[in-house]
Amino acid sequence: MPVTIKDVAALAGVSPSTVSRTCKNNPSISKETKEKVRRAMTELGYEPNFQASNLANNNSRTIGIILPVSAKEAYENSFYLEVIRGISQFCNQRQYANTIITGQDENEILQVIRTMTRSGQVDGFIVLYSRHQDPIIDYLDEEGLLYVLIGKAYQLANQTIYIDNDNILAGQAATEYLYRLGHRKIAYLGCGDDLIFSSDRKAGYQLAASRLRLDAPVEYNVNMPSVFGDDYSSVRELLTSENRPSAMVVCDDILAVALERICNEIGLSIPDDLSIISFNNSLFAKLTSPQLTTIDINTAQLGIEAASQIINHIENPNLLATKIIVPHFIVERNSCRQI
């Protein structure tokens, strides 16, 4: 296997970004550290990509915004549009341009990233999602490329700049809200544990359910990986069972819209038969009937903070990796009722 920047960092006892800055002869790296890194490079036979290493010297003043692989949901989920609005707003103020990067699969996205970095077209990247075992993040880490993650880092958390909500706390807040309304049979609908925001909101739900001693059997935890698929069997089975929940915490407004449709098909009324609280406070939450009670995660602010951090680290490469938590709040509407 070829030697990577990550291998050099491990041998030298520094971060991949320090190796990258050494390749650029960045003045923020001490002479002693540079010598240690260069000895490791020589020992391993590592040859840096000097086109990529000269990235910061081209003054492109452009941020690459990485969307998930282009499943249909990525373009129809207003979360991404709102985050991009926040990023663009801040970049405009600081006179940085931004460009969208996506593709049909990970290989296509990686090829775009390689092309842009080798030609010096971008100064850094903002990744709009966080999932377990993501080859895009692995590549950015291995190459020592500057990026900010919107979501919690699944690896190298101490070296990763990320902007997030406290999704565990938000999951707890949603569950406790339903509890205060009198609900004791509360289920959770997620979009898959590979997406960290969904698994964290589920963890928050489970913590609250345990602390409040709720009746929350295993079958109360269900997933709907795609709102465009046809397999809603686990959700239908739960909602037609004798131990049907009276309320559900749903990890995203789009899933809540799909859940409302399923309820309508099987003859359940919202909120009379099922109360729903979801997340994001998107346009979908306001257009449904009844309108959704939801947790507003300050989506545009996530984008603003991400843009602020990436530009700060571009202009000050010796900064330590920053972690910022953006607060959330509950917006009460008509999809939940007191029992």
Q: What is the pLDDT of residues 245-284, one digit of tens each?
A: 999 999 999 999 999 999 999 999 999 999 999 999 999 9
User: Before 135, cis peptide (omega within 30)?
Assistant: no
Is it the case that residue 54 has pLDDT exceeding 50?
no
Instruction: For residues 112 and 93, give the distance between their C-alpha atoms in angstroms, rounded to a whole number.
Output: 26
**In terms of C-beta density within 10 A (0-12 exposed, 13-18 middle, 19 or more buried), how is residue 240 classed?**
exposed
**Per-residue model confidence (pLDDT) at position 56:** 44
| Per-domain residue ranges of the chain | 1-48, 60-164+301-327, 167-296
How many CA atoms lie within 13 Å of 294's alpha carbon, on the beta-carbon side?
Answer: 25
Give the residue carrying structure tokens 């339903």. 178
**Per-residue model confidence (pLDDT) at position 143:** 84
**Phi/psi at 191 (nearest 5 deg)?**
-115, 20
Between these two residues, 42 and 30, which has the higher pLDDT value? 42
Give the residue carrying structure tokens 């979801």. 278
**Pair of tokens at residue 71:** 């499943």
**Pair of tokens at residue 2:** 């070829």
SS3 188: strand
Is it the case that residue 71 has pLDDT exceeding 80?
no
- Written as one letter, the residue type at 189 is L
- Per-residue pLDDT tens for 175-198? 999 999 999 999 999 988 889 999
Measured CA to CA in angstroms, residue 259 lies from 71, 220, 235 at distances of: 20, 14, 8
pLDDT confidence of 74, banded at 50, 70, 90? low
Least Cα distance to 112 among 163, 176, 69, 150 occurs for: 69
Instruction: For residues 39 and 221, give the distance between their C-alpha atoms in angstroms, rounded to a whole number.
Output: 52
Beta bridge partners of 279: 295
Question: Which CATH fold topology does 1-48 show?
Answer: 434 Repressor (Amino-terminal Domain) (1.10.260)
**Pair of tokens at residue 258:** 């799909």
- Per-residue pLDDT tens for 103-159? 889 999 999 999 998 888 899 999 999 998 899 999 998 888 899 999 999 888 888
Tell me whether the CATH fold assigned to 1-48 matches the one assigned to 167-296.
no
Query: Which residues have CB under 8 Å from 198's CB, separation 6+?
Result: 190, 191, 192, 251, 252
How many CA atoms lie within 13 Å of 98's alpha carbon, on the beta-carbon side?
Answer: 26
- Per-residue pLDDT tens for 301-328? 999 999 999 999 998 877 889 999 999 9
- Per-residue pLDDT tens for 199-221? 999 999 999 999 999 988 999 99
Report pTM: 0.83
Question: Which CATH fold topology does 60-164+301-327 show?
Answer: Rossmann fold (3.40.50)
* Strand order, beta sheet including 293-296: 221-223, 186-190, 247-250, 275-279, 293-296, 329-331
**Pairing between β-strand 329-331 and β-strand 323-325 as defined by DSSP bridges:** unpaired
Is it the case that residue 168 has pLDDT exceeding 80?
yes
Q: Does domain 167-296 have CATH number 3.40.1350.10?
A: no
**Per-residue model confidence (pLDDT) at position 226:** 67
